[in-house]
Chains A and B, each alone.
Chain A
Amino acid sequence: MSDIAELEQTLLAEIAGAQDEQAIEAVRVAALGKKGSISEKLKSLGAMSPEERQSQGPAINGLKTRVTEALTARKAELRDTAIAARLETEKVDVTLPVRASPAERGRIHPISQVVDEITAIFADMGFAIAEGPDIETDYYNFTALNFPEGHPAREMHDTFFFNPDEKGERKLLRTHTSPVQIRTMETQKPPIRIVIPGKTYRMDSDATHSPMFHQLEGLVIDKTANVANMKWVLEEFCKAFFEVPSLKMRFRPSFFPFTEPSMEVDIQCDRSGSEVKFGEGNDWMEILGCGMVHPNVLRHGGLDPDEYQGFAWGMGIDRIAMLKYGMPDLRAFFDADIRWLSHYGFRPLDMPTLFGGLSG
């Protein structure tokens, strides 16, 4: 065996035997450093005869190449091993729970969510959203809406009153959202298409009545709007809101002072099971009151009832929310119980849209 082959054997064995980067570096310096064994051999080439150089040159250079490759390979190997060992020490228990993000914990109250659902539907039908004050005058809440003084119809509304002022006039908490009909007519000329969500108040308290509740008023006024249009709007709304392909509705003649003719509306449902299903079944559930705006109300709004006509309706937002989402007790709406809010509330990013489906 030539000494070159012998050196190669020794060096390769040392490379394979190096256990860390330091050791491999020592091997490299011993072989390829300034005074390394291979470097010495390369230096010796200068003193050789041309013939000798011709045979030794390639042999020594070949040795250098192979040893260099072996060094690189071993270095990479040692580095991989070192990384693997470090990673092993960095291991954590990934089953440890993380905190829920704020957006997962927060909730939107069902009333706000349902108002957004209603807004999405009526926006599509060309309605705007109007609002009005909770504290009203007798004029806007009753007189302008054609409730005669002392008429039993006023007693249908168990009204909260404030104490009379020095002029003897007493303000009240609006018993319905209908005052906003008049306020709208006073400030906006037809055509009018608005819905009015808002707080309303009556002296009433049980599982389905609360002294404070939420109503949705609708008002359409132009020169042609009639009962047939009203039926269409309300049927389309109910189908869209309850997210059913079809829904039978029953319009019954009724009485409200501010509409003539007046109707109450029932929707078809099935109450046979534990939850109420809409769009099927043989039961009827009253859901809203509506009618053609009474000529006196149009007059109070500054409109000529022979020129303008229209319809209005009112329904309980809390009630339709209870029906749609199966919430049994209205009183819980106002209790701020985080267990109830967490269960019945909606996530902040659940935004009702028609293109995405109201409730997803």
Chain B
Amino acid sequence: MKFTLSWLKDHLETDATLEEIVERLTMIGLEVESVDDKSALKPFTIARVLTAERHPDADKLQVLSVDTGDGKPIQVVCGAPNARAGLIGAFAGPGTYVPGIDVTLGVGRIRGVESHGMMCSERELQMSDEHNGIIDLPADAPVGTSFAAYAGLDDPVIEINLTPNRPDATGVYGIARDLAAAGLGKLKDGAVARVKGEGATPVRLAIEAPDLCPGFALRLVRGVRNGPSPKWLQQRLSAIGLRPINALVDITNYITFDRGRPLHVFDAAKVKGDLTVRRAKEGETVLALDDREYKLNGEVCVIADAEGVESIAGIMGGVHSGCDENTTDVLIESALWNPGNIARTGRELGIITDARYRFERGVDPEFMVPGLELATRMVLDLCGGTPTETEVVGYRGHEPKKVTFPVSEVKRLTGLDVAKAESLDILKRLGFTPQSDGDTVDVLVPSWRPDVDGKADLVEEVMRIHGVDNIAPQPLASHAAVNGKILTTLQIRTRAAKRALASRGMMEAVTWSFIPSAHAEAFGGGQPELKLANPIAADMSDMRPSLLPGLLAGAQRNADRGFNDLALFEVSGTYEGDTPEKQRRVAAGVRRGTAKLDGAGRHWAGNAQAVGVFDAKADALAVLEACGAPVDRVQIEAGGPSWYHPGRSGTIKLGPKVVLGHFGEFHPKTLETLDVDGALCGFEVFIDAIPEPKQKATRTKPPLALSNFQAVRRDFAFVVDKSVEAAAVIRAAGAADRKLITGIQVFDIFEGPALGEDKKSIAIEISIQPQERTLTDEDLEGLAKRVVESVGKQTGGVLRG
């Protein structure tokens, strides 16, 4: 919402400066977005051309001597055809910024002749597109004074960022009312006198859609002369960015901004028969004033004549019955429209107009008729003519809302101590009508404030006018004890997973929740309920089923920039469905190139090798460990979901049912779908699947039992079938004596022709911790025998000879 200072002062008697007004507007909730104080136009002065001589070296240029009022003629080279001795125009000296050409002037030399400034065209001052010559002012224009002041261009323009709840402030009058209430001046009387009409309005109007049109007022003015509107009106409209069209149209635009009351004018000669307010017929079209043809549906409210749609109600008129310089009889419309319907229609048709802006917020119903009277007055003043009587259809009057207001609510909700009398006075100044004088007051809400429904709204009115600044901060009551744990287990695990992965040399990425369809499908997603109906881009269409596609794509982007070795992770949400329970919390990571735990790339102490499945496994287990999962009890099963390499991936499970995660290298087809390459491995850990830690009565750790007997180690190498998993050998060996065997490490894997086809050797080191006495050679031999037996029985392995 834009307006000028002088426009505001039409309605507000005030001595306040521009700065004070701007400050107060912001502090009462009418946030000032920008102020143009027009100081940029200050340097332009009115000057008279004393002499105009032909430039010695250029046919089209003249050398002017210009009087700028201080008696010292200035030499200016000028190319305008209308430059001549005696012309009075707008002069800009060196150092002046000329907005229309975006240039700051200096002393120039044009074809060898010095030029100390320029005489400007209207376009150079951004007054209009006129550039055929320089500005040519009447002979009485005061030389030496400010051109902007003379031409009315010095009126500061204020733009406020209007919140959607304030339709009353879509008019300058409403803004003046707020400022007056806030003590910044006195609101002038805005009452509109009735304009007497002669005879009934001949065009009948029928409302067939009363739910969409709660009232319609119109009248005809015959014998108008429609042409350009007067300078003052054009200037005001131009100042707020509206293009003057003709007097009739300009009047409607003016009242739209002056009073927040949109109007429409029809050229009566082009209206056939009577007017009807109705829903459009499906597929009906109208060529609107923006020269675009709109196809309407059955929910759009229109004003139609005998031949078809003349106007999209409350949004935009039609070209067919628009007013132009030939209009002699004009029908003026001032109507009320259903805000929800206007908003929906505007959105569906994609039309943004000043009328829609106001109607969808809710215009003052009680100003429907005064708005028409005001328009009539202006039409008569600017275009002449004779009005018929005002015709009002469908309007049943306005029943003001009543709010029961315990005045103490102000203190309860804001902490402010405002005297009751002041609270009520503020409300009165805003147009509210308190109806009693007790501690709880019935307050009538003015017709221009559809946003006010309850007592909290009245508290806001009192608070914003009294001043939010006057509320002194007060500490919240502090808790009486040390604050306990405030994070949930899932939140703690999320943080722990992030810190753990970062401390493994990985970088935390935050990638998009929506990914390309093909990527989603490659990772088990792409369900219809997870597809956006209106994605911002085609490749941001599906909610991600996994964090991996985003990380893999991110890794590739880095590789494309020349950074091949990198490790990324993310701990965030994935989506298996569209309900809250189907949003998972996952930690995932990707390593690329040679980005191993110990470092990437070449190094004198040893070059890093390409990353693989075991790097991903270590990352996954580190996350589980950091999250407090029972890592010693998890099982690793071969294989993972389809996006992994079937022979180089694993699944981490807790018991037969709970899947904690997957890790591995990727399936080449998946990488192809994602268009990524290079050595890659990754993992996913489902943090939300880790069971809650058991509640314990105390934090005491189990007692530490240390053995006094020396620990010993024994090595074994077993030849097993290739298909036997190392985990089976470890499990079998450990089962030989759960008490004495405290650790098993696989230290060598060997395959070779000496072992035979389909055979491999697994070498393990067993740590043995005697508990009760030092073990004798016989003890150790017995234990070794049991280990060999157990492994043989469970895996078919035999000791390597």
Which residues of chain A have a CB within 8 Å of any CB of chain B? 96-103, 105-109, 111-112, 116, 119, 123-129, 131-135, 148-153, 155-156, 160-163, 165, 170-171, 173, 193, 199, 201, 203, 205, 211-212, 220, 224-229, 231-233, 235, 250-255, 260-264, 292, 294-295, 305, 309, 333-339, 341-342, 345, 347-349, 351
Contact = CB atoms under 8 A, between A and B. Distances in A.
Contact of A264 (B31, B412, B498): B31
Contacts of A111: 510
A345 B347 CA distance: 42
B529 A171 contact: yes
A160 B534 contact: yes
Interface string B394-425: 00000000000000000011111000000000
Contacts of B550: 336
B399 to A, nearest CB: 20
Interface of B: 26-29, 31, 163-166, 339-341, 343-344, 347, 360-361, 412-416, 454, 456-457, 459-460, 463-464, 468-469, 471-479, 483, 486-488, 490-491, 495, 498-514, 528-536, 540, 543, 550-551, 554-555, 557-558, 561, 563, 566, 568, 572-573, 575, 578-580, 583, 597-599, 603-605
Contacts of B604: 96-97
Given A100-B599, A127-B486, A162-B529, A106 B459 contact: no
B514 to A, nearest CB: 8
Contact of B557 (A156, A295, A335): A335
Given A152-B360, A348-B502, 12 more contacts: A99-B605, A103-B503, A123-B483, A123-B486, A129-B491, A132-B580, A229-B415, A253-B463, A260-B460, A261-B459, A339-B561, A351-B499
B476 A263 contact: no
A255 B49 CA distance: 55
A342 B558 CA distance: 13
Contacts of A112: 495, 498, 508
B502 A255 contact: no
Given A152-B164, A235-B473, A106 B460 contact: no
B456 A261 contact: yes
B511 A336 contact: yes
- Among B347, B540, B566, B578, the one with the most A-chain Cβ atoms within 10 Å of its Cβ is B578
A109 B532 contact: no
Contact of A135 (B347, B510, B543): B543
A253 B464 contact: yes
Nearest to B606: A99
B165 A125 contact: no
Contacts of B456: 260-261, 292, 294-295, 305
Contact of B343 (A151, A203, A211, A305): A151
B486 A129 contact: yes
A109 B509 contact: yes
A261 B413 contact: yes
Nearest to A341: B507
Contacts of B477: 224
Contacts of A124: 483
B451 to A, nearest CB: 8
Contacts of A351: 499
B491 to A, nearest CB: 6
12 contacts: A123-B483, A129-B487, A199-B573, A220-B476, A228-B471, A231-B474, A251-B468, A260-B456, A261-B456, A295-B456, A341-B509, A348-B502
Contacts of A253: 27-29, 460, 463-464, 468
Contacts, number: 263
A119 B487 contact: yes
Contact of A349 (B29, B503, B529, B598): B503
A333 B509 CA distance: 8
Contacts of B551: 336
A99 B573 CA distance: 34
Contacts of B415: 226-229
A336 B554 contact: yes
B152 to A, nearest CB: 32
B510 A334 contact: yes
A250 B531 CA distance: 42
Given A108-B499, A228-B474, A255 B166 contact: yes
B463 A261 contact: yes
B579 to A, nearest CB: 8
A296 to B, nearest CB: 8
Contacts of B459: 260-261, 292
Contacts of A127: 486
Given A163-B533, A253-B464, A109 B29 contact: no
A220 B536 CA distance: 34
A108 B502 contact: yes
A98 B603 CA distance: 9
Contacts of A201: 513
A145 to B, nearest CB: 14
Contacts of B575: 134-135
A305 B532 CA distance: 37
Nearest to A152: B164
Contacts of B509: 109, 336, 341
Nearest to A163: B533
A259 to B, nearest CB: 9
Contacts of B563: 338-339
Given A99-B603, A150-B344, A260-B456, A162 B29 contact: no
A105 B360 CA distance: 55
A351 B26 CA distance: 40
A107 B507 contact: yes
A152 B528 CA distance: 29
Across the A-B interface, give the 7 residue pairs with the lowest CB-CB distance, nearest first. A336-B554, A228-B415, A253-B29, A102-B505, A255-B163, A261-B460, A106-B502
